[in-house]
A and B are shown apart, each in its own frame.
Chain A
Amino acid sequence: MRGMMTLFSLYSRRYMRNWLVVALLCAVFFPAIALAAEIQVEATLQPGKFSKDQAARFIVTVIGARSAEPDMPVAQGLHFTYQGQSSQTSWVNGNITSSISYNFLVQADKAGDFTIAPVKVSIDGKTYTSKPVQCTVLPAQNSGQAGGNSSRSGTTGVPLGADESKKIGFLRIMPETERMYSGQVVPFTLKAYFTPGRRVTLKSTPRLSGENFLLQSLDEEPQQQQEQVNGTVYTALTWQGTLAAVKEGSFPLIMEMDAEVLVRSRSRRDPFGSSLLDDPFFSGILGNYSRRDITLISKEQEMTVLDLPTENQPDNFSGAIGTFSLAVAASPLDGKAGDPITVKMQLEGKGNFALVQAPDLKEKAGWKVYPASGTVQDLGAGKGIKTFEQALIPKQQGITAVPSMRFSYFDPQAEEYVTLSSDPIPLSLETAPDQSVGQSTLQTEKKQASAALSDQQKDTQAIGGQIAGTHPGQHLAPLHPDVGKLIPAIQPLYQKLWFQLLMVFALFCLLIALVLYLKQQRLARDPSILRRKKVQEHLALHYEEMNRALAIPDQETFHQHCRAAIQQRTGEAWGLAPEAVTLADLEQRLPAEAPLRVVFTRLEQSGYAGEQLPQAELEEILQTTKNELDKLA
């Protein structure tokens, strides 16, 4: 009973584990399958009508996927600028829906009606397509007309009155300065205030109105907090960003943003008195709300954009505006002339890093200078670190230091140009016997080449040396004179047939070795297998001899092998040495009428008595012995 319980417990545990794995797999894969099955691609333009001097937002929304790769939208006469992506996951009535939106800024060359072609989106190797989107571009308007601390109703959905929109919320843009220079990056703070208790959904990221400023960066996610403005508590969303001016002059700075608000609809009054459904409780439950689109527009912020002064502008000024600090490091410092030195330059600060060029050498004589490559690390709010790497090669002996690096920028607060200079970095170059870098390099290369070249190739090397002064690859090792063995393609070793066959052979050998090893292990664990096999071999031999003796006929040999056969099998079955098995053993272990005992007794009797048995009886004995010994096996 206990055994059965243990067995049941083992089985139940194993099945429980299997079911648990299956359940986990289902839990992981079923939502994914459900999501994959319901992929939709939607394209929307907000607003559907916009003027030539404004921009619209084109949003490609992929519903039912967590990642996708959309193609750039295409429309004749419209320009698209990719502005980032946002993702959303919602849980409604137990169903999870993921969506990802790709935002593009749309601008038009001219007024008119346009069609944005379907956008292709690749998801896990499959291509999905949105529907085409129509839009109307109106002639250019004065951007000031749309300004003011106001909101305007959207063109999509059911519009909301302007006064009503103002009650819902407003935008405020606060640039760090109102006086800026053309090309300068100015950080700003943008705040969207909403009256509490409203259900507002942002439909777009904030955008600049007009063409006088460019949005350089903006937080993807705003910070949310409660703020009090003129005694009223609002829910405030705050973005940090940077902008730059395109040209000099005085321009209004306006930002706008699209949102959607849930507004309670007014129900008609029942002429026959108050209906139960008019009760606010039921109207709330029954969802007596409608969605309205609004566009929040910030109050105009007058900005003065100045041109950079031309007086005292340094020669190496490349357009950097802001405040920066410079750090320079170089390595290695203990090589020899001709060896490259990598100089790392780090500019840290606040400014327009896109226009920041690498610092230049104050003194270039004796140096071979390569172009620098740079990377920017954005720290937010206009701050950042730009790191440049530049390779320099000292061409002469006797150079003692990496010259100082210069970087010039315009400081908008001090309203003057500033030039930063690094300290020279001391070098300890080894003194080489050859004074010319070119010669030393050539010597090195020739040494390398000579190791592999044959006498015939050395002639070519001389030719290479002869032409050395005539072409740019002058210090390269010479051409190879022989074409060598041509092959159709560069193929890795593991793709070559001979190697694959060799590995298959090795694997085959290993498998055979494994099989043999397992067999040996089995025999070692159970020696009776081997013993049984040996007995079988002996029996076959005895039967063969018995048949031969029967044919001659030779009764003595027949008796001898028949007895030996019985002794072999019974000895193996009873765990006795074959030669030790006697008639007494058979009488002790087999019943009186057992055929084997009868045969053995008959053989003993005839052997002692010298009796010649008839041929038919001998054949019967042989058959009986075989049958009975097979049964014992």
Chain B
Amino acid sequence: MKRNILPSMLLRVLLRIVQVALPAIILGLSTLVIAGEQENAAALFEQANISFTQGEFEQAIAQYSNIISKQGVSASLLYNLANSYAAAGEVGQAVLNYERARHLAPGDADIQGNLEQVRKDAGLYRDDQALHRRLAGLLGADQWLLIAGCAFLFFSLSALLASLRTGKGGNGKSWLMTGALILCLLTLPLAFLRYQDWKVGVVLAEDTHLLISPFADATLAGDIKAGRLVRPGKEHGYYVLVETENGKTGWLAKESFALVVELVKE
């Protein structure tokens, strides 16, 4: 009987070791792979920066784009790519990538400053925005939503504590609940308003025209510069009905603009 027990015990011990060690091995290997990729990305990024400083903007654009297509995006990567496009004179692409970078790092002064500079250089001026728009513009959409989410969480926890009737200070809890609810209700519309800006596109092509109907030989409804923000609406064939940031509307060929947040790993 003893001869039979020993192999089964060994088997159990081995299984236990595999159970404990295998996830650790997988975790370790994946960490190594990620770290390796990150190092590789950092090296490529450094090379692209050198290309930029040497004035080889097209090469820098290709290198930054290569990192994006293989390993994803970051605010700095998109910002440097936008700088390269701006230096190469491609205003539309520059504005597009600054806008994308701004979504990842809403408070970055470099991104904001360069975007404004490029728009100013290209004559892309905006009409004065309404007060609620300016207020919403103080923070990014994610930031407003995070505040609203935290306020909602706080409100729910306060409500739970109040309903459990633990401890004293019931009046204080009510005030906290009311405050959290008001904060949530105030910030949620601002987040919604800011998320509307995620649905915009940027005109890429120079000498783009708005058409009054979605046909190639339709009458022109006006010119639109590269780098202008447009809000796409309904589609018809190869054309999309857009509204520009200055309130003009017209049909625009699909390939003339790119959506700001359509950036899935290419």
Given A445-B117, A473-B87, answer yes or no on A490-B261 (Cβ-Cβ < 8 Å): yes
Stretch in A8-16, A157-165, A297-305, A479-487 touching the partner = A479-487
Inter-chain contact A476/B118, CB cutoff 8 Å: yes
Contact with A along B230-255 (1 / 0, CB 8 A): 00000011000000001010000000
Q: List 17 A-B contacts (CB under 8 A).
A: A71-B237, A342-B125, A371-B223, A373-B223, A441-B117, A448-B109, A448-B110, A448-B112, A482-B76, A483-B67, A483-B74, A484-B77, A486-B71, A492-B145, A493-B146, A513-B160, A513-B163
Stretch in B1-9, B20-28, B45-53 touching the partner = B45-53
Nearest A residue to B103, CB-CB: A490
Nearest B residue to A508, CB-CB: B156
Inter-chain contact A373/B264, CB cutoff 8 Å: no
The complex places the Cα of A510 from the Cα of B163 at a distance, in Å, of 10
Q: How many A residues are at the interface, by size bracket?
A: 35 or more
Specify which chain A residues have a CB less than 8 angstroms from the CB of B155 in the assembled complex. Answer: 506, 510
The complex places the Cα of A452 from the Cα of B107 at a distance, in Å, of 9
**Which 9 pairs from chain A and chain B are nearest by CB?**
A370-B123, A473-B87, A480-B76, A484-B74, A516-B163, A513-B159, A391-B123, A509-B156, A483-B45
The complex places the Cα of A227 from the Cα of B55 at a distance, in Å, of 76
Given A452-B108, A505-B153, answer yes or no on A488-B265 (Cβ-Cβ < 8 Å): yes
Contact with A along B152-171 (1 / 0, CB 8 A): 11011101101110000000
Specify which chain A residues have a CB less than 8 angstroms from the CB of B213 in the assembled complex. Answer: 82
Q: State the Cβ distance, A355 to closest chain B Cβ, in Å.
A: 12
Specify which chain B residues have a CB less than 8 angstroms from the CB of A82 in the assembled complex. Answer: 213, 215, 217-218
Given A487-B74, A489-B72, answer yes or no on A470-B55 (Cβ-Cβ < 8 Å): yes
Contact with A along B129-143 (1 / 0, CB 8 A): 000000000000110
Inter-chain contact A488/B53, CB cutoff 8 Å: no
Nearest A residue to B126, CB-CB: A342
* Best-surrounded residue of A471, A472, A478, A487 (most CB of chain B within 10 A): A471
The complex places the Cα of A520 from the Cα of B165 at a distance, in Å, of 10
Q: State the Cβ distance, A442 to closest chain B Cβ, in Å.
A: 10
The complex places the Cα of A463 from the Cα of B80 at a distance, in Å, of 14
Contact with A along B82-125 (1 / 0, CB 8 A): 01001111000000000010011000111011100110101101
Majority secondary structure of chain B interface residues (helix, strand, loop or mixed): helix
Find residues 176-228 in chain B having any chain A CB closer than 8 Å to their own CB. Answer: 195, 198, 213-219, 221-225
The complex places the Cα of A231 from the Cα of B254 at a distance, in Å, of 59
Inter-chain contact B110/A512, CB cutoff 8 Å: no
The complex places the Cα of A161 from the Cα of B74 at a distance, in Å, of 77
Given A340-B120, A477-B114, A509-B160, answer yes or no on A484-B76 (Cβ-Cβ < 8 Å): yes
Nearest A residue to B64, CB-CB: A483
Q: Which of B57, B108, B159 contacts A471 (CB 8 A)?
A: B57
Q: Which of B100, B125, B164, B219 contacts A490 (CB 8 A)?
A: B100
- Known: A477-B110, A479-B79, A493-B142; 10 extra A-B contacts, CB below 8 A, are A370-B122, A389-B246, A449-B109, A471-B57, A479-B52, A482-B45, A499-B145, A506-B149, A509-B159, A512-B160
Contact with B along A500-519 (1 / 0, CB 8 A): 00110111011011101100
The complex places the Cα of A550 from the Cα of B108 at a distance, in Å, of 81
Contact with B along A322-353 (1 / 0, CB 8 A): 00000000000000000010100000000000
Interface check B263, CB cutoff 8 A: yes
Inter-chain contact A483/B77, CB cutoff 8 Å: yes
Find residues 66-92 in chain A having any chain B CB closer than 8 Å to their own CB. Answer: 69, 71-72, 81-82
Nearest B residue to A485, CB-CB: B74
Inter-chain contact B159/A502, CB cutoff 8 Å: no
The complex places the Cα of A476 from the Cα of B87 at a distance, in Å, of 9
Inter-chain contact B156/A449, CB cutoff 8 Å: no
Interface check B38, CB cutoff 8 A: yes
Inter-chain contact A477/B73, CB cutoff 8 Å: no
Interface check A563, CB cutoff 8 A: no
The complex places the Cα of A167 from the Cα of B141 at a distance, in Å, of 71
Specify which chain B residues have a CB less than 8 angstroms from the CB of A477 in the assembled complex. Answer: 109-110, 113-114
Interface check A467, CB cutoff 8 A: yes
Interface check B32, CB cutoff 8 A: no
Find residues 45-72 in chain A having any chain B CB closer than 8 Å to their own CB. Answer: 69, 71-72
Inter-chain contact A483/B72, CB cutoff 8 Å: no
Inter-chain contact B222/A490, CB cutoff 8 Å: no
Nearest B residue to A453, CB-CB: B110
Specify which chain B residues have a CB less than 8 angstroms from the CB of A471 in the assembled complex. Answer: 55, 57, 87
The complex places the Cα of A69 from the Cα of B108 at a distance, in Å, of 44
Inter-chain contact A452/B55, CB cutoff 8 Å: no
Interface check A561, CB cutoff 8 A: no
The complex places the Cα of A72 from the Cα of B219 at a distance, in Å, of 15
Interface check A475, CB cutoff 8 A: yes
The complex places the Cα of A467 from the Cα of B216 at a distance, in Å, of 43
Specify which chain B residues have a CB less than 8 angstroms from the CB of A376 in the assembled complex. Answer: 222
Specify which chain B residues have a CB less than 8 angstroms from the CB of A81 in the assembled complex. Answer: 217
Q: State the Cβ distance, B27 to closest chain A Cβ, in Å.
A: 19
Find residues 355-380 in chain A having any chain B CB closer than 8 Å to their own CB. Answer: 370-371, 373-376
